């Protein structure tokens, strides 16, 4: 059953001429991990904000079509009810620190205080969430004293602790090193397997290929490709439109022209490339 259901969604920010999303039809099943790719300005963030309820409730503007998440209709809901079902974390970690708290532990508890979780339930929930994302040792640090990557983990944890049904992430690992990125993708994969639905806008195609269930490609506000990572990420539809394509795919595509790549499918990851070239 689709937990996210967008039908014929077209959206225009206030005071702009061009629609940021054009006739989007997008369904996601419970427990699916969907990666959204696209060049800058393709509408990735707008799609994230739409699922998370900020379009149109926060940004205003004109939205047509229907947006349903977890059975609720966006046009009939308030943002403060919507965020109980849908969690949102985005790229810039610095702006996600509430500023109202002095330690990481208190920072993560901020959301729980707002939605009225009792104190004796709050503490174990914060501890569990920190253990999950591997930041337990940061508990007593000031959120402002952390590195960008650590702050991104705190931002993610602050949303996870609220136990949303749907997790929307807009480039959540942009300031992390490869080790941190792997850990975070691993955590998100685990959560998806436990039934959480994840929408993630992301540039790092090799990680997507390894961890996501499905890839949606946006271009100029429209979905131009939607499928399994392997197929979507190597699709010819994406070529020449400014998508971040894996270097292995680019190499193999060139190799295919000269007959050097024999397989039908193009590779996304190093492993696939090695395997493909091994048969030459």
Partner 1 sequence: MNTFSMYVARESGLHKLYPLTKASLTLLLLIAGLTLPVNWAGYFLVLFVIFPLAIWGKVFKNFMRIVWSISLPFIISVIIIQSLFWGKGTPIFEFWILAPKIEGVIFATISVGRIILVMAGFILFAMTTRPDALMISLKQVGVPSSLAYIIVTTLQIVPRFVTKASTILDAQRSRGLETDGNLFVRSRAVVPIILPLVLGSLMEVEERAIAIEARGFNSNREETSLIEIPDTRAQFILRRIFMVLMILSIIARVAWQLST
Partner 2 sequence: MLENIKKEFSTRILVLIPIAIAINIAIGELVVRLKLPVYLDSIGTVLVGAIAGPWAGALTGALTNLIWGLFNPFAAPFFYVAAVIGFLAGLAGKRGAFENESPRWLSVLVGAVFVFSLTMFILAFSNASIDDTGFTSYPSMADLFSQYAIIFVVAILIGAAIGYFLLQRGGYAGFWGLITGIVAAIISAPTAAYVFGGVTGSGTDVLVAAFRASGAGILSSVMAQGAVSDPFDKMLSFMVVWLILRSLPARFKAR
**Interface contacts to partner 2, rule CB under 8 A:** 13-16, 60, 99
Closest distance between partner 2 and the C-beta of residue 45, in Å? 14
14 or 124: CB nearest partner 2? 14
Query: Residue 190: how many CB atoms within 10 A of its CB?
Result: 11
**Distance between CA atoms of 147 and 150, rounded to whole angstroms?**
5
**Distance between CA atoms of 271 and 280, rounded to whole angstroms?**
15
| 83 within 8 A of 52, measured Cβ to Cβ | yes
**Distance between CA atoms of 71 and 123, rounded to whole angstroms?**
30
165's CB contacts (< 8 A; 6+ apart) are: 3, 30, 70, 85, 86, 196, 197
159 binds partner 1 (CB under 8 A): yes
3-state secondary structure of 168: strand
Residue 14 interface partner, choices partner 2, partner 1, none, CB cut-off 5-8 Å depending on type: partner 2
85 or 246: CB nearest partner 1? 85
Residue 13 interface partner, choices partner 1, partner 2, none, CB cut-off 5-8 Å depending on type: partner 2
90 binds partner 1 (CB under 8 A): yes
Please select the residue that binds partner 1; options are 110, 183, 189, 253, rule is CB under 8 A.
Answer: 110
83 or 216: CB nearest partner 1? 83
Report how many residues bind partner 1 under the rule CB under 8 A: 43
- Contacting range for partner 1; rule: CB under 8 A; set: 9-17, 20-28, 153-161, 221-229: 153-161
DSSP characters for 75-119? GGS-HHHHHHHEEEE-S-SGGGS-SS-SSHHHHHHHHHHHTT--H
- Contacting range for partner 1; rule: CB under 8 A; set: 25-33, 118-126, 190-198, 230-238: 118-126
Please select the residue that binds partner 1; options are 145, 147, 190, 250, rule is CB under 8 A.
Answer: 145
Binding mask 238-267 for partner 1 (x = CB under 8 A): ------------------------------
Please select the residue that binds partner 1; options are 2, 70, 84, 224, rule is CB under 8 A.
Answer: 84
Tokens (6 digits) for 224? 């131009």
Residue 114 interface partner, choices partner 1, partner 2, none, CB cut-off 5-8 Å depending on type: partner 1
184's CB contacts (< 8 A; 6+ apart) are: 133, 152, 153, 156, 172, 173, 176
**Distance between CA atoms of 125 and 145, rounded to whole angstroms?**
23
234 binds partner 1 (CB under 8 A): no
3-state secondary structure of 243: coil
Query: Residue 59: how many CB atoms within 10 A of its CB?
Result: 15
| 212 within 8 A of 224, measured Cβ to Cβ | no
99 or 178: CB nearest partner 2? 99
72 binds partner 1 (CB under 8 A): no
Residues in contact with partner 1 by CB under 8 A are 49, 52, 54, 58, 79-80, 83-84, 87-90, 92, 95-102, 105-106, 109-119, 122-123, 142, 144-145, 155, 158-159, 162
């Amino acid at each position: 059953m689709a937990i996210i259901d967008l039908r014929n969604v077209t959206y225009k920010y206030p005071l702009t001429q061009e629609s940021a999303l054009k006739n989007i039809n997008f369904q996601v099943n419970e427990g699916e991990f969907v990666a959204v790719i696209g060049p800058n300005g393709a509408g990735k963030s707008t799609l994230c904000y739409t699922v998370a309820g900020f379009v149109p409730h926060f940004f205003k503007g004109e939205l047509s079509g229907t947006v349903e998440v977890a059975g609720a209709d966006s046009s009939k809901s308030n943002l403060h009810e919507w965020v109980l079902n849908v969690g949102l974390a985005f790229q810039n970690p610095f702006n996600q620190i509430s500023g109202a708290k002095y330690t990481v532990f208190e920072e993560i508890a901020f959301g729980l205080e707002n939605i009225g979780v009792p104190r004796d339930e709050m503490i174990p929930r914060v501890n569990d969430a920190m253990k999950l994302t591997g930041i337990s040792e940061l508990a007593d640090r000031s959120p402002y004293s952390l590195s960008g990557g650590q702050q991104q983990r705190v931002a993610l944890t602050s949303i996870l602790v609220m136990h949303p049904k749907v997790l929307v992430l807009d480039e959540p690992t942009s300031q992390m090193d490869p080790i941190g990125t792997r850990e975070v993708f691993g955590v998100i994969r685990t959560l998806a397997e436990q039934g959480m639905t994840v929408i993630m806008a992301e540039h790092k195609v090799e990680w997507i290929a390894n961890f996501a269930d499905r890839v949606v490609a946006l271009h100029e506000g429209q979905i131009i490709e939607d499928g399994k990572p392997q197929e979507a990420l190597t699709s010819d539809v994406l070529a020449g439109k400014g998508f971040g394509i894996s270097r292995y795919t680019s190499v193999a595509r060139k190799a295919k022209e000269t007959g050097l790549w024999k397989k039908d499918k193009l590779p996304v990851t190093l492993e696939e490339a090695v395997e493909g070239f091994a048969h030459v």
